[in-house]
Amino acid sequence: MRISYRITSAAALAALGLPIVNDLLPPAPPRPHLVPPASGYLRWDPCTLWPQLGPMYKLTAIVCLVAYVVFIIQGLRNRSGRRWLAAAGVLALILWIQSDWWRVSAGCYSSRSLASLFVWAGVVILMFVHHVIQRPHEVYSPGSLSSSALLLAPPLALTYKCIWPALTFMPIAWSILNAFRPFNREPDFTERAIIAIQRCISWGTLGLALISLALCFALFVISARRSMVA
C-alpha cells in the first residue's frame, strides 16, 4: 500500500502552525524554580542568554531547514525526494533539539511550548522517514537526455552523488561528535581526539564547499556558452 506524499507533507506543513500559534498566545507562567525569590535580589537567569552557536551547528540547522522545505514542496507535488537528504533531515532535526536541550533543562520553555515543538518535530520526522522507506515510482530514462545534458552529466553526477551529500553530512558528523565531547577543563586524550577530528571535518567542509562552487560556476559557464552558440 502506497501512501501519498501529499499526506505527510501537508501534515508537516500544518504542524508548523503549532509553534507559531504558541508564540502568538500569551506567555505561559514561568516554572516555580525560575520565579525570583521573595527577598528582592535578582538571580542569574540562563533563559536570557543567547547561545553563541558555532558555524557547524548553524550548518546543521540549515540542513534541517533545506530538507524541510524541499520535502514539503516535493511532497505536495506527490513526488519523492532524495533519501540521503531525508536521512540527513532526521539527524539534523534531532541534533538541533539536542543542542538546545540545556535551555529545556533550565526551565526556559513552558510545557505548552515543549508540546508544540515535539508534535511538530515528530510529524516532520515522519515525513522524512516516509521518503526514506517508500520507493519512488518515477523512472528516468538516460536515453532521453539531450547532447548538452550528456556533456554536463559527469560533473552534475559528481556534484549530486558525492559532493552535496558529503557537504550535508559533514556538519551533522561534527555535531554528533560534539554531543560526545566531555568538555573537561583539562582536555584528556578523548577530547583532544574529538577536537582534532572536528577540525578535519571543518576544513573538509570548507574545501568541498569551494569545489562545489567552482563546479557550479564551470557548469554555468559551459551552459551559457552553448546557449550562445546555439
* For the chain, domain boundaries: 1-31+51-139, 142-230
The answer, yes or no, to whether residue 21 has pLDDT greater than 90, is no
**Of residues 173 and 28, more confidently modeled:** 173
Q: At what angle do helices 111-133 and 17-24 cross, to 10 degrees?
A: 170
Can you give the pLDDT at residue 141?
Answer: 44
The answer, yes or no, to whether residue 28 has pLDDT greater than 80, is no
Average pLDDT on 44-55 reads 64
219 contacts: CB under 8 Å, gap ≥ 6: 152, 155, 156
How many other β-carbons are positioned within 10 Å of the β-carbon of residue 134?
Answer: 16
Cβ atoms 167, 40 nearer than 8 A:
no
- Band the pLDDT of 200: cuts 50, 70, 90: very high
Can you give the pLDDT at residue 142?
Answer: 45
The answer, yes or no, to whether residue 44 has pLDDT greater than 80, is no
Instruction: Find the DSSP H helices in 35-188.
Output: 55-76, 83-99, 101-105, 111-133, 147-158, 164-179
Can you give the pLDDT at residue 35?
Answer: 47
Exposure of 183 in the CB half-sphere (CA atoms within 13 A): 4
- Band the pLDDT of 109: cuts 50, 70, 90: confident
Taking the CA atoms of residue 7, residue 8, residue 13 and residue 18 in that order, the dihedral angle to the nearest 10 degrees is 110
Can you give the pLDDT at residue 145?
Answer: 40
The answer, yes or no, to whether residue 214 has pLDDT greater than 70, is yes
- Band the pLDDT of 22: cuts 50, 70, 90: confident
- Band the pLDDT of 11: cuts 50, 70, 90: very high
75-96 tens-digit pLDDT: 999 888 888 999 999 999 999 8
C-alpha cell at 19: 509553534
- Band the pLDDT of 121: cuts 50, 70, 90: very high
Can you give the pLDDT at residue 213?
Answer: 84
Exposure of 166 in the CB half-sphere (CA atoms within 13 A): 17
CA distances from 36 to 29, 31, 43, 105, 118 (A): 13, 11, 7, 18, 28
Taking the CA atoms of residue 170, residue 174, residue 175 and residue 177 in that order, the dihedral angle to the nearest 10 degrees is 140
Distance CA 152, CA 210 (A): 19
* pLDDT averaged over every residue in the chain: 79
Can you give the pLDDT at residue 114?
Answer: 85
Can you give the pLDDT at residue 26?
Answer: 74
Terminal-residue alpha carbon distance, the chain: 47
126 contacts: CB under 8 Å, gap ≥ 6: 8, 11, 12
